[in-house]
Amino acid sequence: MKTDQKFDSCTLVSGSIVIRPLTLSDQEAIFTAGNDDEMQKWFPLPFPYTTENAQWFILDFATQRQEGGTGLVSAIDLDGQFAGVIDIKRAEWRGKSCEISYWTSPWARGKGVATEALVILSRWIILETGFQRLEVRVAPGNILPLKELPRKPATSVKESRETRDLRARVVMT
């Protein structure tokens, strides 16, 4: 879906967490994370995940999402070190709603990185873009992301039209 509206690249900082545009310098860290057992378990990634896959993710996937107006893919840094990715996707500009997805590198899990990044990006989306509804979708059984959420949101289970699988849907309004 092509739209005239799109998210601008930005850098958001809160304490030791920085959300910033992806760069080719992130390629090695994305490659490493893409081969992690937990990433392979919960994300539809090729195996083995190659450096070419990581480069495609940075140069093509992220760029296409932003230029198409459907989202924005960003790096998460913790204390200056690449810690994961957070992205806006399925942006509905007319309805002012979108989905947020994220993952963290193995070394950054359980440190509140995803929680803080989610709060930072959510505030930016609501305050700077005027979006009013954010969704975080988590695969059933993937408990850690639910523990990382900043507050107890309304949660429901719904069948995804795109994938025809069941997903836990966390709605932050």
Cα-based angle 102, 107, 108 (whole degrees, multiple of 5): 45
Examine residue 4 and state whether it is found in any structural domain, yes or no: no
pLDDT digits (tens, 9 = 90+) for 14-59: 999 999 999 999 999 999 999 999 888 888 898 999 999 999 999 9
Domain of residue 44 covers 12-172
**CATH number, residue 60:** 3.40.630.30
Mind giving me the DSSP string for 36-72? SHHHHHHS---SSPPHHHHHHIIIIIHHHHHHTTS-E
Neighbours of 156 (CB within 10 A): 9
Q: How many domains does the chain have?
A: 1
148 falls in which pLDDT band (50, 70, 90)?
A: low
For position 57, what pLDDT does the model report? 95
In a domain, 146, yes or no: yes
> Region 155-164: what's the mean pLDDT?
37
Q: Which residue has the higher pLDDT, 166 or 72?
A: 72
Model confidence at 147, pLDDT cuts 50, 70, 90, reads low
* Domain assignment of residue 133, yes or no: yes
Give the pLDDT of residue 41: 87
Kindly report, residue by residue over 1-13, the tens digit of the pLDDT: 455 799 999 999 9
Q: Residue 6 domain-assigned?
A: no
Task: Count CB neighbours of 140 within 10 A.
Answer: 10
pTM score, whole prediction:
0.81
pLDDT band at 124 (very low <50, low <70, confident <90, very high): very high
Query: Is 7 a member of any domain?
Result: no
